[in-house]
Structure 1
Amino acid sequence: MDTHYDLIVIGSGPGGASLAQALAPTGRRILILERGGYLPREEANWSAKAVFVDGRYQADETWIARDGREFHPQLHYYVGGNSKVYGAALFRLRERDFEAVRHKDGVSPAWPLSYADFAPWYDAAEALFHVHGRRGEDPLDPGATPYPFVPVRHEPKVQELSDRLSGIGLHPFHLPLGIRLDQKEDGFATPTSTCMRCSFFDGFPCLLNGKADAQVMCVDPMLAAHDNVTLLTGAYAERLDTDDSGRRITGVQVTRDGRQEHYTAGTVVVACGALSSALLLLRSANDAHPNGLANGSGLVGRNYMRHEMSIVMAVMKEANDTVFQKTLALSDYYFGTDEWGDADGPWPLGLIQMCATSHAEQIKGEAPLGALMQHLPDMPFEELARHSMDFWLQAEDLPRLDNRVYYQGDQVHLDLTPTSPEALDRLKAKLKHILSEIGWPAMLVDRSLYLGKDIPLAGTAHQAGTCRFGIDPAQSVLDLDCRAHEVDNLYVTDASFFPSIGAVNPTLTIIANALRVANVLKARL
């Protein structure tokens, strides 16, 4: 077996798969190493108990928190990475997110590149992942070209919510969704659609492959069309080896089926997710890189970000019969409100978006009976789910040096201190206020508070920032092309490169950047 390739890509999530599919037409020999296998398509894909209560598809790992507690990180090692269970909300960062933004608790640093540098790659990313939306609705959306697909239509209750929010002067908009839904402007889907608009969306694998994830949109079509691309599953990249100078990767040490294997390539791209990519670099320490590969700055694993997030059920008097609920968002409070500020102006709050419908088993498994039932003693979980409208709230998480992932011996540690808790609390208050103002008073049940003491740390859905890019090698790990400052043939294309995270979901920016870096690598390969 020939073990030398032109390019090795480690990780098949959005950052790795998007880059590989862009380079596949070059004819160069490409090897994709994926730690997991294909996520099984099975009935349990749509079981709230299996997915959320039993954690059927989560990695079987135990990490250590700053206070010494053990927790299980919600990572998913499959072809397609965490995108197999993501909510497919594909936003562009706001143009102002690329600049320094002052928050009540600190400053979100400016990026070394501007929105204009990413704009054409955002266009390409939206086309690649079948993003549905409508330009002009979101006042902060910087996109200038139409979305490639019309927005996913609101169901009646969500449309009523949108109308009522507009009626009080707000600007609700159709959530930009990556979804395989060939929907006409009148709202009806054609027979070629794979999405059936079910209630099993956020956090669930899609049994029908209707979600636009990295496996479905990149890996499978690429393998079918290009015999120069090889995917190895069950292939855990243990470490990267370098030459004596430390300037070039000479090989990738892999464990597969209990055997040690060694692969080489002219160029290596790491895209394991911000946490796992940093860990790979740290365990690749050698004489030339004693503190971890490409870690002369000491920043590998540091500045970890993942948003301040809450899943909120608004439990209302009237039943909500919406099936596919994740179609609406609100950015009016993204950069703040006048009543929360001072002489420097309002402080940013964040984004409100709807999320998939809560299921009774999901609520029952997540929420201690006593805590919920003291408020709703006569409402069984089925009724609680039926009367709820569900929202995902997120505020920007600021980078901190001491928020980091690292090893002590062979044990992974993750230290995390919240950076914008007040912003998230005020965003929840805003949601409660506007629901009351539109005549839909609701009791807000913060599901994320009932999930158990480990969830705030274990939730790794929006991981970013552990190998930030920049101009100064002393202040960054990667250069502007996402190549390691200290290693000539090493690139990182997941969200590790983010200097800040904004308050929108990061996946579209990961994809856009991967396509941008792929364009750089075309000349190199």
Structure 2
Amino acid sequence: MNAHYDVIVVGSGAGGGTLVRRLAPSGKRILLLERGDWLPREPQNWLAQDVFVDNRYVSADTWYDDRGKPFQPQVHYFVGGATKLYGAALYRLREQDFAELRHHDGLSPAWPIGYDELEPYYTQAEQLYEVHGARGEDPTEPPASADYPFAPVSHEPRIQQLADDLAAEGLHPFHAPCGVRLDERRRAFSACVRCPDCDGFPCLVHAKSDAELMSVRPALEHETVTLLTGAQALRLETDASGRVVTGVVVAGQEGVETFTADIVVVSCGAANTAKLLLASANDRHPAGLGNGSDQLGRNYMFHASTAVLALSREENPTVFQKTLGVNDFYFGTDDFPYPMGNIQMVGKSQAPMFRGEKPVETLLAPKWSLEDVARHAVDFWLSTEDLPRPDNRVTVRDDGAIRLTYTANNGEAKQQLYRRLKSMLGRLGMHDGHLLPRHAYLKNDIPVAGCAHQAGTARFGTDPDSSVLDRDCRAHELDNLYVVDTSFFPSIGAVNPALTAMANALRVGDHLLARLGAAVGEPARAA
């Protein structure tokens, strides 16, 4: 295991896993480091009690807020990273998201690349991750060079009725882009009809288009690719000049080892990538590796999101609920001319998710049991853009733990989006005025604990004084260090960031292939 590699990639999620898939056919020696293990396929994958109440798959990290209060972040360390438990909602950022946008609370900065540069890679990522969707339904949809590779996942009856009711309101509901391996003809997920939902659950039958299934496993079919699990990167070492990363120090099953490569790519998630680079400070990089701009760890973003449920007058027997989205309020309205964000469905409520809580559902409808609430629940996820703020940041405590300092912003836009949904409930077949918080979804009073959409701690840009990475996601101050998770985002938009991370990993992958003198081409579609 101490051989020298052409490329070391730290982290196997949406960014790192996709990048390795891109590089694998080149014949270059690649080492993929993953601090977690393979997520076990077991009956508990589909049990809400185990997943949402007992936190069976939440990793045992402790982070601290700016007051020193400990909390457990909702992070998942497995082969495939956070995609093992994501909802597989694979949206493109809107074209305008790449430009400077004025929000109620300030400006969202422009990206150093335009949508047009990333568009071919969005198309390739949709093919690689077998995305189901329909062009032309969403009025904010950016231009695309190809159709989705698969037809949209059809709405189940209650969600179809919701779509019809939204359309009657003058809105434009659309089929949400889903990364699932679905045979629509049999309405079966990999021939299984017992799947509880993708959102928040591991997939027992490998029917979810996650990074393990669609990228890591195919990459490992190439004999030049090596995966090392249970391998946590502790720090990166450089040569005396500070310009070249010479080693990745790893705590693994065999103790602490150092691995070397010509190119090192970090993809640990926005908080842990910042932690690794900050912990790698040395004489040439006293504030952290590549942190001459003092931007490393800053501008932490994670979406201003709200998970809520409405109580349908009729029962909602939907199994797979995440098939619908609404973006009519994404860029604002005449009476609120600022971006508000995205409305989509979240995984269907199940009674065990409410256990151990003081559910306001039973206070508003006291004659109903938790099972009744779940049967009538229609669940929504509202996302508003979180604006980058330098003081929202990741730092590292003396004991090596992450300290996350965060103050919420853009709250008025978030409330405006919430009020618009709430005002329509009576006309959507719901109980008027009752939008109830999904306490069980985030499971923590500290808002930053629900950090699935974290981004921004190593932003890319053209100015080394205001960014950490260049437009190719290479650290300005180092010749061979790259970052391909969502740390590179200068802004986060208001849709799920996974597809953008995947598309950018393919883009950076082509840059690295050219640098390595290997052939550049489209990745093969996953089997």
Deviations 1:325-375 (A, max 9, x none): 1100000000112222xxxxx11111000111101010223x315x44322
Partner of 2:438: 447
Rounded Cα–Cα distance in structure 2 between residues aligned with 1:325 and 1:126 = 21
**Aligned mate of 2:316, from 320, 323, 329:** 320
Rounded Cα–Cα distance in structure 2 between residues aligned with 1:61 and 1:496 = 19
| CA-CA distance at 1:314 after TM superposition | 0.4
Rounded Cα–Cα distance in structure 2 between residues aligned with 1:41 and 1:449 = 23
List aligned pairs for 1:102-251, cutoff 5 A: 102-144=102-144, 145-184=146-185, 188-189=186-187, 193=190, 196=193, 198-224=195-221, 226-251=222-247
Partner of 2:520: none
| CA-CA distance at 1:434 after TM superposition | 2.1
| CA-CA distance at 1:198 after TM superposition | 2.7
Rounded Cα–Cα distance in structure 1 between residues aligned with 2:316 and 2:196 = 12
Paired residue type of 2:72: H
| CA-CA distance at 1:322 after TM superposition | 1.1
Instruction: Work out whether 1:392 is the aligned partner of 2:381.
Output: yes
In the alignment, is the contact (CA less than 8 A) between 1:197 and 1:324 conserved in 2?
A: no
* SS of structure 2 residue aligned to 1:44: helix
Deviations 1:155-195 (A, max 9, x none): 011111111111221100000001111335xxx447x9356
* SS of structure 1 residue aligned to 2:220: helix
Partner of 2:524: none
Partner of 1:63: 63
* SS of structure 2 residue aligned to 1:320: coil
| CA-CA distance at 1:414 after TM superposition | 0.3
In the alignment, is the contact (CA less than 8 A) between 1:432 and 1:441 conserved in 2?
A: no
**Aligned mate of 2:483, from 492, 495, 508:** 492
| CA-CA distance at 1:449 after TM superposition | 8.8
C-alpha spacing 1:124/1:398, structure 2 compared with 1 (3 Å)? same
Deviations 1:18-62 (A, max 9, x none): 111111111000000000000111111111111111111111121
Partner of 2:423: 433
What is the TM-score when the length of structure 1 is the normalising length?
A: 0.95
| CA-CA distance at 1:441 after TM superposition | 3.5
**Aligned mate of 1:520, from 505, 508, 511:** 511
Structure 2 unmatched ranges of 5 or more: 517-527
The number of residues matched between the two structures is 513
* SS of structure 2 residue aligned to 1:302: coil
Rounded Cα–Cα distance in structure 2 between residues aligned with 1:456 and 1:430 = 22
* SS of structure 1 residue aligned to 2:107: strand
Partner of 1:424: 414
In the alignment, is the contact (CA less than 8 A) between 2:93 and 2:493 conserved in 1?
A: yes
Rounded Cα–Cα distance in structure 2 between residues aligned with 1:422 and 1:380 = 34
| CA-CA distance at 1:196 after TM superposition | 3.6
| CA-CA distance at 1:141 after TM superposition | 1.2
C-alpha spacing 1:53/1:449, structure 2 compared with 1 (3 Å)? closer
Deviations 1:230-289 (A, max 9, x none): 000000111100001100000111111150111100000001111111110000001110
Deviations 1:456-485 (A, max 9, x none): 110111010000000000000000000000
What is the TM-score when the length of structure 2 is the normalising length?
A: 0.95
Instruction: Work out whether 1:22 is the aligned partner of 2:18.
Output: no
In the alignment, is the contact (CA less than 8 A) between 1:131 and 1:179 conserved in 2?
A: yes
| CA-CA distance at 1:127 after TM superposition | 0.3
Paired residue type of 1:154: H
How big is the alpha-carbon RMSD for the aligned residues of Structure 1 and Structure 2?
A: 1.5
Deviations 1:112-149 (A, max 9, x none): 11100100000000000000000001111114220000
Deviations 1:484-505 (A, max 9, x none): 0001000000000000000000
C-alpha spacing 1:466/1:197, structure 2 compared with 1 (3 Å)? farther
Structure 1 unmatched ranges of 5 or more: 341-345
Rounded Cα–Cα distance in structure 2 between residues aligned with 1:195 and 1:249 = 47
In the alignment, is the contact (CA less than 8 A) between 1:310 and 1:448 conserved in 2?
A: no
In the alignment, is the contact (CA less than 8 A) between 2:296 and 2:458 conserved in 1?
A: yes
* SS of structure 2 residue aligned to 1:417: coil
* SS of structure 2 residue aligned to 1:97: helix
Instruction: Work out whether 1:458 is the aligned partner of 2:449.
Output: yes
Stretch deviating more after TM superposition (429-438 or 278-287): 429-438
In the alignment, is the contact (CA less than 8 A) between 1:194 and 1:209 conserved in 2?
A: no
Rounded Cα–Cα distance in structure 1 between residues aligned with 2:442 and 2:206 = 28
Deviations 1:277-336 (A, max 9, x none): 111000000111011000111111100001001111101222111111110000000011
Rounded Cα–Cα distance in structure 2 between residues aligned with 1:483 and 1:315 = 48
* SS of structure 2 residue aligned to 1:374: helix
In the alignment, is the contact (CA less than 8 A) between 1:179 and 1:195 conserved in 2?
A: no
In the alignment, is the contact (CA less than 8 A) between 2:232 and 2:251 conserved in 1?
A: yes
C-alpha spacing 1:319/1:331, structure 2 compared with 1 (3 Å)? same
In the alignment, is the contact (CA less than 8 A) between 1:305 and 1:501 conserved in 2?
A: yes
Partner of 1:279: 275
* SS of structure 2 residue aligned to 1:178: coil
Rounded Cα–Cα distance in structure 2 between residues aligned with 1:3 and 1:283 = 24
Instruction: Work out whether 1:414 is the aligned partner of 2:404.
Output: yes
Instruction: Work out whether 1:475 is the aligned partner of 2:471.
Output: no
In the alignment, is the contact (CA less than 8 A) between 1:180 and 1:194 conserved in 2?
A: no
Rounded Cα–Cα distance in structure 2 between residues aligned with 1:182 and 1:163 = 24
